[in-house]
Amino acid sequence: MRLIIAEKPSLARAIADALPGNSKREDGAITVGDSLVTWCLGHLLEQASPDAYDPAYKQWRLDHLPIIPQQWRLTPRPKARGQLAVIRRLLKRATNVVHAGDPDREGQLLVQEVIHYLGWKGPVSRLLVSDLNRPAVVKALAHLDDNARYQPLYRAAEARSRADWLYGINLSRAWTLVGRQAGHDGVLSVGRVQTPVLGLVVRRDAEIAAFQPRPFHVLWADLAVEHGQLRAWWQPGEHHPLDDLGRLLERAPAEVLASRLPGAEGRLARLETQQKRQAAPLPYSLSALQVDAARRYKLSAKMVLDACQSLYERHKLITYPRSDCRHLPEAHFALAQRTLQGACGGDGTLRQWFTGADFTRRSKAWNDRKVGAHHALAPTGTQADMSRLSNTEANVFRLIVRNVLAQFYPTLEFREIKAEFEILGEMFRAQGREILEPGWKPLFTTRDEAPPLPPLREGEPARVIDHGVEDRETRPPEPFTDASLIKAMMNIARYVEDAEVKRTLRDTDGLGTEATRAGIIETLLTRGYLIRQQNALRATRTGHALIQALPEAASRPERTALWEQRLTAIAEQDAVPAPFLDGLVTDLRELLAAADAMRMREAFGNAQGVEAPARTKRQAKGRRSSGPRRSSNGKPAARRRRSNKEPS
């Protein structure tokens, strides 16, 4: 009997539907012919708590740290024992096992750790399903692989799980304990990804708070030329007071020139035209989709992820969504017209876009060399019943289909024009863009382009018909939003100061993964470190204080981004995990040595930021005026122990 273990029930049902023969449901499984299909419910197992290694660790004490397991243990999640018992029972009937976790690092870990935990010693095959439609699953079942090929992926995921435990347990306990010594009541959780993400927001908020606006001034002139009118802007020379961006810092020079402009005549001294072509944006990765959906529809990253999961699992309208790839397999090109015809059939906007597509075109989106474990998000070809989709699901679905359809539209072609006019011995500049071929652009925007400049020729006369001096101010950086924070996590090298590390990180995936970035933001919101103000993400007072109290290395992105690089080396180059974990333990000891109650007390005293709403401030319960009663070794007194909940 073959036992197929899927990552989740929706995948198990899709596999059962693709197997030949009649299916029969039983407790926790589906029988189809000589195969049994069962499932996990996400992670059935988790890293054991510290007190599983030593009961003394149930008390939080600084002198226990760092806690470093010698033999790692897993324990069933509280709600998973029933399904674990089902899989244990089914393994006794199995002659071989098929691992059907999602095709990524966590999917490999999630099922394989269950197989190991339950003691299976027989053969294991690997089933990779990225599309829940029946033809795709049938094809995947016909191409099972040896699970041994995916051990590097498993070792990387296992190393990630253990490293996160070491980092989170030890640093969260340390800063919670010194926080209590400083009078803060509650758990202060520290994580290898969430804390640097919080650091990004805290530092941006600090830049905004410290920003001092500076006035600057601009002078414009409306010019009559041979074939129309245009507006040009004065370009003051270096002998005027300018900032580092060339902006005029004093109004007087602009006023002096403005007084001479009425009726002044000049000529077009320099005309530069450049014809450009721009290919359509590639199909989406999850993070790129989250960025666009946040900008267009004001959706949070989690809302986009949830919509994608529903479109994938429930409606079977899109392929596997948690992908970091923006390319498609070359074999998909031949099927694209039929797939998109099905995908567009249930929506008027999509049908209209489909009729304008030219399926003889082939963009750079189809490239096997750039497709790894996953390919870009794409429609499966199933016709959507839009009445069954929520508004969010429908909007996200249209975005995904649109970006694939755009590959069959012409390239956007336009002409960029820069014109420099000499008037009264001063230079005025006008810029414009003329669309030659709109190509794919109408699929992405309904806004009209700014009117192009009139036809121009170098040397033609120009006359001033109007002018004005405007007073402006420099603006502070924009606060982070879901879109910009996800983009920052994707492109973390921009926020790294060390030139060598910046070069190293430029080609890596950044902070977190496609599957975790939305959850990281939601975790910071839930724990009261961030708050949403309209569309902006701002750090709370607690968030500011935690970042100020931690060593800078714990709140900056370099460490965790390099972690991802090392984990990738384990997954893709079969590197050994031990040096990575040993190096982490060395780092932990240095970080723990910096835990200091006085610094924490000063951080809370100096902390800026908004207060979190009461619904997210579970940590604020209890006494505040004098802090919790505590014993001589720095741990909370006995009556406080109930609040020592490990951060998840």
Catalytic residue numbers, as ranges: 320
Q: How far is CA 492 from CA 195, 380, 501, in A?
A: 14, 32, 11
Q: Name residue 230's beta-bridge partners.
A: 223
Nearest to 5 by CA among 78, 83, 74: 83
Distance, C-alpha 455 to centroid of its chain? 44
Widest CA span of the chain, in angstroms?
95
Q: Which of 106, 150, 93 is nearest to 127 (CA)?
A: 150
In this structure, what token pair is assigned to residue 522? Answer: 């939601």
Quick check: 383 and 345 in contact, CB under 8 A? yes
- Pairwise CA distance, residues 397 & 379, whole Å: 8
Cα gap 393→643, rounded to integer Å: 39
**How far apart (Å, rounded) are the C-alpha atoms in residues 574 and 570?**
5
Burial pattern 460-490, b for ≥16 Cβ within 10 A else e, equals: eebebeebebeeeeeeeeebbbbbbbbbbbb
Strands, DSSP E only, in 258-362? 265-278
Non-local (6+) Cβ contacts of 424 within 8 A are: 257, 260, 261, 264, 266
Distance of CA 37 to the CA centre of its chain: 33
Give the pairing of strands 461-473 and 412-423: unpaired
The residue among 203, 205, 174 whose CA lies nearest residue 188 is: 174
Closest Cα partner for 140 from 4, 18, 295? 18
Which three-class secondary structure state does DSSP give residue 353?
helix
Q: How far apart are CA 545 and CA 609, in angstroms?
A: 9
H or E segment and range at residue 545: helix 541-549
Side chain identity at 499, as an amino acid letter? A
Residue 514: how many CB atoms within 10 A of its CB?
Answer: 23
Q: How far apart are CA 105 and CA 153, in angstroms?
A: 6
CA distance 566 to 508: 11
Q: Is 571 exposed, middle or buried (0-12, 13-18, 19+ CB in 10 A)?
A: buried
The strand pair at 29-32 and 23-26 is best described as antiparallel
CA distance 149 to 152: 8
The dihedrals phi and psi of 353, each to the nearest 5 degrees, come to: -65, -35
Taking alpha carbons only, the member of 568, 584, 550 closest to residue 174 is: 550
Residue 4 pairs with which residues in a beta bridge? Answer: 37, 98
- Euclidean distance between CA atoms 36 and 577, whole angstroms: 34
The distance of Cα 299 from the centroid of its chain, to the nearest Å, equals: 13
Q: How far apart are CA 510 and CA 499, in angstroms?
A: 16
Q: Which residues contact 288 (CB under 8 A, 6 or more apart)?
A: 326, 490
